[in-house]
């Protein structure tokens, strides 16, 4: 007689659980435990930085093997539904529906990508989920296919939803035109507008509906303009008593309440006085510089996204702030020119808040070679990545071969901010001085 097999395998996780584990890996932990996990990961990063600096001949070991004191993780004021921006993909769902709007489980490399609805994901607000649900309903009615692989055709692509504490909602729909002519495109845009203004999508009460024709994974506004189909061109956010205008592709911290806490700490650590000049590198819509403008004599912002600079200038004017100037362009092109001719006697404090790609070497070199900058705040959402290279470049000994003449910086204090509850990520603020 054959024995019945006893299965020792773990119970199969639902698709919802798999997605929650992929997007918000700490979702099952009580919040205090999440903060402890993040503290430990930041501690390891500072230990790594200390040992890397030691390899460069710089004595950086402090108690615990850290390169500088590490404060406890500053908690987020909001733990659930805190995201003000969500990006939803369109792909095959667990049931095989190729017009599922959600987030990915699996990887392209493994060829096991499945798009799962995000209705249960804890860091996404209900408004974003509602817009995603309506978009799925719209494309399910459309005779046009979703665009899963560009070369295989199809049109409907991702959805970005942005919301603000003022109650504004912006939806941006990305569409692959393939071979469609202008008339057919116009018809699709008209249907989309009708659905979200007078059809079932009207429940979303969109402030702005944008459409972007894109033949690449990502296109900037300059490469392929965002087309306003309905509503206002911008949405507005309030932060630290100021009002900010947000364009479709402008950077804004994803956790508004957390950003307020972070920017208040930036103000304290800058030690800015009435005659300080604040250099805000990768300034986005100007949030950091404008929130500190009252404390300093001047703010100079640098940002690559042209529309964000337009927003920053509008934000300054609207809030009656006149001591700010903003420069549009790549920081590696703008900053060396700006600092090479720097002859201002006022103290200069730099704040950098780059993307995950970190700062270009020419930016670091310009900061190092400008002797007026004695204090630098580096805010990083991925300190273990390219930012680590920047930390080493800021602190290494002068190197004539690399045209690095300026006196090195030293890390003095690290403060992690939990801008992303339920995920493993943290925003780390490192204070460097020389």
Summarize pLDDT for 79-117 with one digit per residue, the tens.
999 999 999 999 999 999 999 999 999 876 767 789 999
Q: What is the pLDDT, as a whole number, of residue 216?
A: 79
For residues 72 and 39, is the Cβ–Cβ distance under 8 A?
yes
- Angle of CA points 117, 234, 146, to nearest 5°: 35
Best CATH choice for the domain 255-433 from the list 3.90.15.10, 3.90.1150.10, 3.40.50.620, 3.40.50.150: 3.40.50.150
pTM listed for this prediction: 0.90
State the SS3 of the chain: CCCCCCCCCCCCCCHHHHHHHHHCCCCCCCHHHHHHHHHHHHHHHHHHHHHHHHHCCCCCCCHHHCCCCECCCECCCCCCCCCCEEEEEEECCCCCCCCEEEEEECCCCCCCCEEECCCCCCCCCHHHHHHHHHHHHHHHHCCCCECCCHHHCCCEEEEEEEECCCCCEEEEEEECCCCCCHHHHHHHHHHHHHHHHCCHHHHHCCCEEEEEECCCCCCCCCCCCCEEEEECCCEEEEECCEEEEECCCCCCCCCHHHHHHHHHHHHHHHCCCCCCEEEEECCCCCHHHHHHHHHCCEEEEEECCHHHHHHHHHHHHHCCCCCEEEEECCHHHHHHHHHHCCCCCCCEEEEECCCCCCCCHHHHHHHHCCCCEEEEEEEECCCCCHHHHHHHHHHCCCEHHHCECCCCCEEEEEEEECCCCCCCCCEEEEEEEC
Contact 47, 40 (CB under 8 A): no
Q: Tell me, what's the pLDDT at 212?
A: 95
Q: Give the mean pLDDT of 296-306.
A: 92
pLDDT of residue 108: 67
Q: Give the integer Cα–Cα distance in Å for 312 and 284.
A: 7
Other Cβ atoms closer than 10 A to 396 = 19
What's the fold here for domain 85-236? Answer: OB fold (Dihydrolipoamide Acetyltransferase, E2P) (2.40.50)
Cα 211 to chain centroid distance, Å, stands at 21
Dist CA 332 CA 430 (whole Å): 21
Average pLDDT over residues 145-150: 90
Active-site residue, from 115, 283, 381, 426? 381
Question: How deeply is 107 buried, as exposed, middle or buried, from its count of CB atoms within 10 A (0-12, 13-18, 19+)?
Answer: exposed
pLDDT greater at residue 111 or residue 395: 395
Dist. CA 135–CA 19, nearest whole Å: 20
Please answer whether residues 155 and 180 qualify as being in contact, where contact means their C-beta atoms are separated by less than 8 angstroms. Answer: yes
Contacts of 173-182 with C-beta under 8 Å, sequence gap 24+, read 173/135, 173/209, 173/210, 173/211, 173/212, 174/212, 174/214, 175/147, 175/211, 175/212, 175/213, 175/214, 176/147, 176/150, 176/213, 176/214, 176/215, 177/213, 177/215, 178/147, 178/153, 178/154, 180/155
Evaluate whether 85-236 and 255-433 have a shared fold.
no
Residues 249, 221: Cα–Cα separation, whole Å: 7
pLDDT digits (tens, 9 = 90+) for 400-434: 888 888 899 999 999 999 999 999 999 999 999 99
What is the percent of the chain with per-residue pLDDT over 70, rounded to a whole number? 97
d(CA 35, CA 41): 10
The domain segmentation of the chain, as residue ranges, is 85-236, 255-433
The mean pLDDT of 263-282, rounded to a whole number, is 92
C-alpha torsion 399→403→409→411, nearest 10? -80
**Percentage with pLDDT > 90 across the chain:** 74
As annotated, the binding site for S-adenosyl-L-methionine includes 253, 303, 353
What whole-number distance in Å separates Cα of residue 65 and Cα of residue 47? 6
pLDDT in tens, 235-258: 999 999 999 999 898 888 999 999
pLDDT digits (tens, 9 = 90+) for 41-63: 999 999 999 999 999 888 877 77
Residues 62 and 42: their CA atoms lie apart, in Å, by 15
| 270 in active site | no
């Amino acid at each position: 007689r054959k024995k019945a097999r006893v299965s020792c395998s773990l119970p199969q996780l639902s698709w919802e659980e798999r997605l929650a584990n992929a997007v918000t890996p700490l979702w099952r932990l009580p919040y205090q435990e999440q903060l402890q996990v993040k503290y430990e990961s930041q501690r390891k990063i500072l230990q790594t930085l200390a040992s890397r600096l030691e390899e460069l001949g710089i004595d950086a070991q402090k108690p615990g093997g850290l390169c500088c004191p590490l404060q406890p993780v500053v908690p987020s004021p909001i733990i659930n539904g805190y995201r003000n921006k969500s990006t939803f993909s369109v792909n095959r769902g667990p049931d095989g529906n190729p017009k599922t709007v959600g987030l990915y489980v699996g990887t392209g490399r493994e060829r096991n990508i499945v798009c799962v609805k995000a209705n249960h994901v804890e860091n996404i607000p209900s408004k974003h989920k509602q817009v995603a649900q309506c978009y799925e309903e719209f494309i399910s009615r459309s005779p046009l296919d979703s665009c899963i692989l560009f070369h295989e055709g199809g049109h409907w692509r991702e959805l970005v939803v942005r919301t603000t504490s003022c109650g504004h909602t912006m939806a941006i729909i990305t569409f692959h035109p393939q071979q469609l002519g202008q008339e057919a495109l116009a018809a699709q845009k008209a249907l989309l507008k009708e659905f979200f203004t007078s059809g079932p999508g009207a429940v979303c009460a969109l402030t702005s509906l944008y459409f972007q024709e894109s033949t690449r994974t990502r296109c900037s506004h300059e490469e392929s303009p965002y087309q306003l189909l309905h509503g206002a061109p911008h949405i507005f956010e309030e932060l630290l008593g100021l009002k900010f205008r947000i364009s479709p592709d402008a950077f804004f911290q994803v956790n508004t309440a957390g950003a307020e806490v972070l920017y208040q700490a930036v103000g304290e650590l800058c030690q800015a006085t009435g005659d300080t000049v604040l250099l805000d590198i990768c300034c986005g819509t100007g949030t950091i510089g404008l929130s500190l403008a009252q404390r300093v004599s001047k703010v100079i912002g640098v940002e690559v996204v042209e529309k964000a600079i337009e927003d920053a200038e509008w934000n300054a004017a609207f809030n009656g702030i006149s001591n700010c100037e903003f420069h549009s362009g790549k920081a590696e092109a703008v900053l060396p020119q700006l600092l090479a001719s720097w002859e201002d006697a006022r103290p200069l404090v730099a704040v950098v808040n780059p993307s995950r790609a970190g700062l270009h070497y020419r930016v670091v070199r310009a900061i190092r070679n400008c002797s007026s900058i004695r204090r630098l705040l580096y805010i990083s959402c991925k300190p273990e990545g390219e930012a680590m290279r920047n930390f080493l470049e800021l602190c290494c000994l002068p190197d004539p071969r690399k045209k690095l003449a300026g006196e090195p910086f030293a890390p003095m204090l690290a403060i992690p901010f939990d801008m992303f509850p339920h995920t493993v990520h943290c925003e780390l603020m490192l204070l460097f001085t020389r």
